[in-house]
A = this chain, B = another copy of it.
Amino acid sequence: MKSSGSARKSEMMLKAAQRLFAEAGYEGVSMDLVAKTAGVSKATLYAHFESKEKLFAEILEAENGRIEDGDWIPERFEGDAEGVLRRFARGMASFFVDGRGLAVYRLFVTDLHRFPELVARFHAAGPLAMRSRVARLLAQMGERGALAIDDPTVAADHLIALVQGRLPFDRSIGLPPPSDAEIERHVESAVRFFLRGYAPRNPTDRR
């Protein structure tokens, strides 16, 4: 059962690296620390990952790729637009205050420029994929007359910008997390504003 122990160690290393990089970024984590946290020696770590850069890129790609996992972007529009948008916005806010969104945001801004060959791919798989999914949702709302959506991609940019706001920025610079009440006010204000801008010109004009 040697290979089983090996597989377990491999997983330990990945999990340790994932957590540490998300917390402290590329420069903030040493290979010594990753090895120690995973309970292996540095040589073992290097036997599995040829360099710190490769390890980091692998971790970041995994985190970034799971950006669509969140259940906070509905696949299809069902129900009332305001309720759907409010739930979406709440999910997005916590995603960028506490969750993977914050970690990926920080890793992108802090360290991605070190890997020029990855930038375009990761950008497409992360932020752009998220926008596409939001745009699809908004397009459905537009088709049903719940919103007056001209260009769904542009509208998605607007919605994301409003809901995201300064949340990940403020968290990244070290400000304490906003309270639930503050998040709720932020979300509420963003959604109401978005609805003002994209309300259907004639609310009764539904097909």
- Seen from chain A, the residues whose Cβ lies within 8 Å of a Cβ on chain B are 27, 105-106, 108-110, 112-113, 116, 119-120, 122-123, 127, 154, 157-158, 161-162, 164-166, 169-170, 172-175, 189-190, 193-194, 196-198
Contact = CB atoms under 8 A, between A and B. Distances in A.
A189 B154 contact: yes
**Number of copies of this chain that the complex holds:** 2
B173 A109 contact: yes
A174 B106 contact: no
Nearest to A192: B197
Contact of A119 (B106, B113, B175): B175
B127 A166 contact: yes
A81 B174 CA distance: 36
Nearest to A113: B174
A93 to B, nearest CB: 13
Nearest to A195: B197
Contact of A158 (B108, B162, B172, B175): B162
Contact of A164 (B108, B161, B189): B161
Contacts of A154: 189
7 contacts: A105-B169, A113-B172, A116-B174, A119-B174, A123-B175, A161-B164, A194-B197
Contacts of A169: 105, 108-109, 127
Contacts of A157: 165-166, 189
Contact of A109 (B127, B161, B172, B198): B172
Contact of A27 (B27, B161, B164, B165): B27
A108 to B, nearest CB: 5
Nearest to A24: B113
A173 B27 contact: no
Nearest to A110: B110
Nearest to A166: B127
Contacts of A127: 166, 169
